Amino acid sequence: MAKQHPYLLEMNGITKTFPGVKALDNVTLKVRPGTVHALMGENGAGKSTLMKCLFGIYKPDAGEIFLDEQKVDIKNSKDALNYGVSMIHQELHPVPQRSVMENIWLGRFPVKGIPPFRFIDHKKMYRDTVALFEDLNMAIDPNQLVGELSVSKIQSLEIAKAVSFNSKIIVMDEPTSSLTGNEVEQLFAIINKLRARGVSIIYISHKMEEILRISDDVTIMRDGKYIGTWPAPELTIDTIITRMVGRDLSERFPERTNKPGDVMLRVEGLTSPHAHSFKDVSFELRKGEILGIGGLVGAQRTELVEALFGLRSVKSGAIYKNGKPITVKSPIDAKKHKIALLTEERRVTGIFPVLSVMENTAIANLGIYENRFGFLNESKMRKEAVSGVEKFKTKTPSVDQLIRNLSGGNQQKVLLARWLLTDPDILLLDEPTRGIDIGAKYEIYSIIIELAKLGKSIIMISSEMPELIGMSDRIMVMSEGRSTGILNGNTASEQSIMRLAAQTG
């Protein structure tokens, strides 16, 4: 019965149950050799659980895994590597203080000499690294410290490392989440090269346009169940979304019902002390207005809003609120002036993972719960946390749940509730829907519009152009630290934003 193996990897009937949750229910994943296989689904659909089963981090309750039609039992990620399966994580974990080549060959350094006098063969390691990079068309110095590399270079390095293990299957989890347009092209070139050699890529991403461009097959999961696998050319963004959420999202954005009023915030010539950061940025923000900020990675948008919030210093320029000049030197000042910030890095600068939803909600505003003896009124704290959970339909068993057990979208809702308790006039939202699944995104959009309707002024940074266009009254586009133009949200197009975003000099 000689035949060509149709599949390089087959995962059949994978089921995994956690206390109270069926995380995976009879899931199938079949990956053809030499293809890019997109794995899609909302957050919580079970994509990462499935991958953890592949890498032996979780042991499935039922189901079988075949590699090249051989049944395999992968016990840990080292086993996986030996079977030729490797993963590029969303968060990269290199050793920043060591060189590029040491990072690649970590744990399997080439050695020379006779035991017990064996030493690391640095020359061979250098040669092998250069050969590896040449093979993949990567321009990285093997001796450079990894800490000095950009995110995209580190990612290339991780891919090279996977290739050096002769991996037949490489899993990429949100590989483009922090790459610029150019770097995405480089990544795709590498992916194409690997595909041509027969390597299969399992590609996990939320970015539909990318997936339709790069992938051959698409497997969609929903609520821990397998929905199906289709050839990518047969799919459109709408059909993918419909299958992922199981309902028609006829509109991706709620209707904007907010009415911009008088000028709330005026920024004039704001300039950072750092040469490559924001320069001479001026704009106005009205009461009840949503001002989008667009631009490529490196446009210094985050730096700008962090300066408005007092997290970064300002060399020159002025900020006026309601016509009066204000200085914001710290988040404490920002809170005094009723400015709130939802940071981009939710896990790094937003949540307190080991604290409860209630504590996470109350923390920025403990003063209002303090009685005159300095004691906190816990029942009031609880009441407001509960009302925040109810208002935003946050999915959590109770407000006593640790926030780290919530999904990204629900964590974001808790953070929104936290900042709303400070009763801000101005809300700075830095990529508020990053890493959040589509259903929850729509809910966050509705909340943002509702807040604008209540007269809050909102600045929203987003790297997703449809989101900018769908949500903003006006869009300020930045490039290399400067504002290159302000567009009307009703008439802006992706092309007009892109033109301004790419404008240099």
Residues at the site binding another protein, with contacts judged by CB under 8 A: 19, 309, 311, 330-332, 334-335, 341, 343, 348-355, 359, 362-364, 366-367, 370, 374-376, 378, 405, 418, 422
Nearer to another protein, 238 or 400 (CB): 400
Min separation Cβ 337 and another protein, Å: 11
Min separation Cβ 17 and another protein, Å: 11
Min separation Cβ 410 and another protein, Å: 16
Min separation Cβ 359 and another protein, Å: 6
Min separation Cβ 422 and another protein, Å: 8
CA distance 152 to 140: 11
Residue count of the chain: 505
Min separation Cβ 155 and another protein, Å: 23
Q: Is 135 left (phi over 0), alpha (psi -120 to 50) or beta?
A: alpha
CA distance 223 to 22: 9
CA distance 317 to 115: 66
Q: Which two tokens stand for residue 183?
A: 């770097």
Nearer to another protein, 319 or 334 (CB): 334
| Phi, then psi, of 357 in degrees rounded to 5 | -60, -40
Using alpha carbons only, what angle is made at residue 144 by residues 143 and 150, rounded to the nearest 5 degrees?
A: 145
Nearer to another protein, 20 or 323 (CB): 20
Q: Which two tokens stand for residue 345?
A: 């890095």
Nearer to another protein, 204 or 311 (CB): 311
Min separation Cβ 123 and another protein, Å: 38
Residue in the structure block whose two tokens are 């404008």: 503
Nearer to another protein, 169 or 314 (CB): 314
Bridge partners of 62, per DSSP, are 15
Nearer to another protein, 97 or 491 (CB): 97
Nearer to another protein, 111 or 366 (CB): 366
HSE-up of residue 79 (Cα within 13 Å, Cβ side): 12
Min separation Cβ 344 and another protein, Å: 11
Min separation Cβ 418 and another protein, Å: 7
CA distance 365 to 363: 5
Nearer to another protein, 96 or 353 (CB): 353
CA distance 185 to 183: 5
Three-class DSSP category at 202: strand
Burial zone of 115 (CB within 10 Å; 0-12 exposed, 13-18 middle, 19+ buried): exposed
Min separation Cβ 415 and another protein, Å: 9
CA distance 364 to 337: 14
Nearer to another protein, 362 or 492 (CB): 362
Nearer to another protein, 106 or 363 (CB): 363
DSSP calls for 237-264:
HHHHHHHHHSS--S-SS--------SEE
- Report residue 302 CA to chain centroid gap: 15
HSE-up of residue 250 (Cα within 13 Å, Cβ side): 1
Nearer to another protein, 267 or 341 (CB): 341
Nearer to another protein, 411 or 484 (CB): 411
180-201 burial, b for 16+ CB within 10 Å, e for fewer? beebbebbbebbeebbeeebbb
Using alpha carbons only, what angle is made at residue 23 by residues 19 and 27, rounded to the nearest 5 degrees?
A: 140
Burial zone of 392 (CB within 10 Å; 0-12 exposed, 13-18 middle, 19+ buried): buried
